[in-house]
Amino acid sequence: MDTVENRSPFEQHVFLGILRVAETFTRSLTDMLRPFRLTLSQYSVLQALRHTETDGLKCREVGDRLISRDPDITRLLDRLEGRGFISRRREGADRRVVRAQITEQGLDLLSNIDERVRDLHARCLGHLGHRELTAFSDLLKATAEAS
C-alpha cells in the first residue's frame, strides 16, 4: 500500500537529490561565467532580454523571468547598464514604468558565452538520450506545476 508514511522517505531522497543536482549545475554555470565577470542573475537578465521584442521588458517582467529571484532588480540592472550590456528608458505615458533592452554589446557578450554554455549543458546532460531528456523535462514540468 502506497501511503504517505511509505512514500515520505523516498520523496525526501528524490527532493534532496534534485537540490544537490541543482546546486552542482548552479556552481558549474557560476564558475563558467566568472571569467566574464557575470553573476548567474546578470546572465539570466541578459538571456531574458535577448529573447524579447525590440522594445524590451518592463523591470518587473525581467524579475519574473529570472532563473532565481533577485530582490533588487534595480541594482542588478544598474550594474548591467553601467557595463553597457543593457539600456533602460522610461515609458512616455507612465514615467514610473522603465523598460530594459539588451544592447549590441550585451548580445556580443552572450555570443561569446554561448558555446561554453552549450558545452556545459553537454557535460551535465549529454549522457542522457533524447527520450530520457524528454521524460526528464516532462517530469520537471509536472513537478513545477504541482508546486
**List of residues 6+ apart from 25 with CB closer than 8 A:** 124
CATH numbers and ranges of domains, the chain: 30-146 (1.10.10.10)
Packing angle between helix 104-125 and helix 4-33, nearest 10 degrees? 130
Looking at residue 30, its amino acid is T
| Strand positions, DSSP E, 50-115 | 57-58, 86-90, 98-102
- Summarised one tens digit per residue, pLDDT across range 59-79 is 888 888 887 777 788 899 999
| pTM of structure | 0.85
Looking at residue 53, its amino acid is E
How far is Cα 128 from Cα 134, in angstroms, rounded to an integer? 10
pLDDT along the chain (147 residues), means of 10: 66 94 96 96 94 82 81 90 94 79 96 96 95 96 91
| DSSP assigned state of 52 | S
